[in-house]
Every structure is written in C-alpha cells, then in structure tokens.
A = this chain, B = another copy of it.
Amino acid sequence: MERRQRALDIARRAGAEAVLASTPASVAWLTGFAAEIDSGPSPFGLPPLALLAADDAPVLIVSDDDAEGAAATGCEVRSYRGFSVEPLDAVGGASRALVEVAGGRRVAVEAGSLPAALAAGLDWVDAGAELASARAVKDPDELALIRAAIELCDVGQREARRHAEPGLTELELWARVRGGIESAAGARTPILADLVAGPRTAATGGAPEGRTMAAGELVLCDLVPRRTGYWGDSCATFALEEPSAVARENHRRASDRLAQILDAVRPGVVAGDLDALARDGLDYPHHSGHGLGCDWHEEPRIVPGSETVLEAGMVVAFEPGCYEHGEGVRVEQVVLVTADGCEVLSGHGLEL
C-alpha cells in the first residue's frame, strides 16, 4: 500500500526506523483495524497500537479482547491480557508487548496520544502532525471504505426527512436516524452529529435535545458516521412543512456557493482559494470544508489562507452555510478529487 510507504518515509526523515501509530485514525490507516471509540477508555485494555517497520507488515498490539478483530486484518498481532478476573494491568501488559515489538528501534510516534507510560520504554521522536497530513491522499482500498461510510450518511439523511415532523423532539428524531443507520450498517456505529431545529439552526448546529419541533421550522442535520474505520460526512437542511422566505433565501445562497466550489475543484487548486470562493457573499464562523477518511477532519482543510494544494485522490467535504436572520442553512457534499475535476460521492438530497 502506498500509504505505508509514505509513513515509513516520514519515520526515516525523522531519523527513525519504524512508525508507531497510537491514534485510532492512524491505526486504522496503517492496518485496517477500527478501534472501539464510543465509550471511552477501558480498564481492561489500552487503545490499540500499530508498529510499522517495513511496508508490508505492521504489528498490531492489542488486548486479548481485540485480538480476533485484529487478526482479521491480516496483520501480525501481539496481544496482552484483556477482560479477565485477574488483577488489572492493561498498562503493564501493553508496555511489555510494545517494548518487545519495538525491539530497541528508534520509532516515530504520535506523542499527542501515546501514553507516557508506553513512551517511557521507547527511543522515540514525534511525527504526529506529519502522519496526520500524510493521510490526505487516499489509496483505492480506502476510497471503497469511504464510499461505504457515505452510504450510511445517505441512509441517515433519508431517515431524517422521512421521520421529521412537528411534535417530535430532536432526540426522538435522532433515535430514528441513528436506528436507521445502525440497521443499515448491521452494527452499532459511532456517529458525530448536529441535529437541531428552529432557533438553534442559526447557531450552526449542536447535539439533539429534548426540544419539540414545530411546523415551519428548519431542521439542520449533519451526520458523520464511522464504518470500518472510515468516516462519512453529510449535511442537509430542510423545512418542516413550508419554509419561510428567509429560509429559502439562505438555502439559495448556501447552495449556490456549494455549486460554485464543486465547479472549481481540481488538482492544483489551493485550499485557501477555494475557501475564499466559498465565503464570497457569506459570513459563517466555520471552515468551508475538510478532508476526511480515518479522521472526520483532516487535510486538506478548506480554511482561510491555507496553502495546501489539492491533489487527485483527496476526499473533501464542502459545507458552506448561511445563518442569517435567525434561520441557519448548511449544505454539504463529499467529493473525490479526480484528474480533471471531482466526483460527488454524496447521494443525499439537498432540497429545502
């Protein structure tokens, strides 16, 4: 895989012989193993680690609880005791396994996530930022996984429109959206989301709450599910029954900007220039877009002044918004940068 070679090159430039991934994103990127991320740390095991010293053979270091899933990736697995009635020692178990696998080599690590107890046994140098940036251009097998994650976005956006109605709370709608996504995935699914109706749309979003939705209100639904280690992203804004004139105008302006950006995307375009094009005539307090893959926000970040140059194989979500006069609208699609433009990967509707 192209990406493993890039990771090793980063290690070499940092004077190291191997890469040690400790973020769920980099572990998934190098090995295909998707760490559990939806209930916080476990007393039985540390988050998985992946050590890459040659471009064809990462070693996954996981607790016994993850050993079967780790082996299914085809990577070599070193496991330590997980769920057990014995005394807890996840840190000791992971630490000993790591020292053996690292074998005294100097390793390029992600120092923003590698626990100090594990770093203590290593000769390390930080390459976290370089590894994160190296994920921007996707390999073909990654594109297939991103497409599958975006299918879950399409399902969720369809469910949102299907079930949204006055009298339901945001949380009741959320339960139906999430239920639809998880049924389609066949598994529990981590999902970041904005799901708000009415006044909170003007504040760009937020988590669903107990507030009851009313006729005429906008629903802003931004769904970011993870499937097999890769994230999808999507946003649509729609009205419960008849939208106001303000909502129509905001929707028209945001949609127009999205169309303009997609028209401009191609290799060689500078991210900061795309950001300026997206904001032309709009005033929103967030990025205009971002890369996604093993993380839900990565390079290329479409933000003011960014000098990142788009390349074929990058996957980018664009999401201009118009939040004026008390009603917020955001529209978002994910695209793959191709040799001469882009392919829209998102399949959800953007109508108001």
- A interface with B by C-beta (< 8 Å): 23-25, 35, 37-41, 43-44, 46, 83, 85-86, 88, 90-91, 109, 111-120, 124, 126, 128, 132, 169, 171-172, 174-176, 178-179, 182-183, 186-188, 190-192, 207-210, 226, 275, 286-287, 295-298, 301, 303-304
- A43: chain B residues within 8 A (beta carbon): 132, 295, 297-298
- A86: chain B residues within 8 A (beta carbon): 303
Smallest distance from the beta carbon of A10 to chain B beta carbons, Å? 17
Once the chains are docked, how many angstroms separate the CA of A115 from the CA of B209? 33
A128 adjacent to B91 (CB under 8 Å):
yes
- A179: chain B residues within 8 A (beta carbon): 171-172, 174-176, 179
Once the chains are docked, how many angstroms separate the CA of A35 from the CA of B38? 12
Smallest distance from the beta carbon of A44 to chain B beta carbons, Å? 7
- A207: chain B residues within 8 A (beta carbon): 187-188
A113 adjacent to B115 (CB under 8 Å):
yes
Find the B residue at minimum CB distance from A182: B171
- A46: chain B residues within 8 A (beta carbon): 112
With contacts A40-B190, A109-B116, A113-B41 taken as known, whether A183 is within 8 angstroms of B169 at the C-beta atoms is yes
Once the chains are docked, how many angstroms separate the CA of A188 from the CA of B295? 21
Once the chains are docked, how many angstroms separate the CA of A116 from the CA of B123? 12
Question: Which of B25, B132, B188, B303 sits near A208, CB closer than 8 Å?
Answer: B188
Once the chains are docked, how many angstroms separate the CA of A178 from the CA of B171? 10
Smallest distance from the beta carbon of A154 to chain B beta carbons, Å? 18
A85 adjacent to B303 (CB under 8 Å):
yes
Smallest distance from the beta carbon of A8 to chain B beta carbons, Å? 21
Once the chains are docked, how many angstroms separate the CA of A113 from the CA of B187? 28
A175 adjacent to B175 (CB under 8 Å):
yes
Find the B residue at minimum CB distance from A111: B117
Once the chains are docked, how many angstroms separate the CA of A287 from the CA of B105? 39
CB-based closest 3 A-B pairs? A175-B179, A37-B40, A116-B119
Once the chains are docked, how many angstroms separate the CA of A97 from the CA of B157? 40
- A126: chain B residues within 8 A (beta carbon): 116-117
Once the chains are docked, how many angstroms separate the CA of A113 from the CA of B116? 7
- A190: chain B residues within 8 A (beta carbon): 38-40
B112 adjacent to A115 (CB under 8 Å):
yes
With contacts A23-B41, A38-B190, A39-B37 taken as known, whether A91 is within 8 angstroms of B117 at the C-beta atoms is no
Find the B residue at minimum CB distance from A132: B43
Smallest distance from the beta carbon of A36 to chain B beta carbons, Å? 9
Interface centre among A43, A119, A172, A190 (most CB of B within 10 A): A43
- A90: chain B residues within 8 A (beta carbon): 112
A186 adjacent to B210 (CB under 8 Å):
yes
B38 adjacent to A85 (CB under 8 Å):
no
Once the chains are docked, how many angstroms separate the CA of A298 from the CA of B88? 10
20 new A-B contacts at CB < 8 Å, known A39-B192, A39-B226, A187-B209: A38-B38, A44-B297, A85-B301, A86-B303, A111-B120, A114-B115, A114-B116, A116-B118, A116-B119, A116-B126, A119-B119, A171-B186, A171-B187, A175-B175, A175-B178, A175-B183, A176-B179, A179-B179, A186-B210, A188-B208
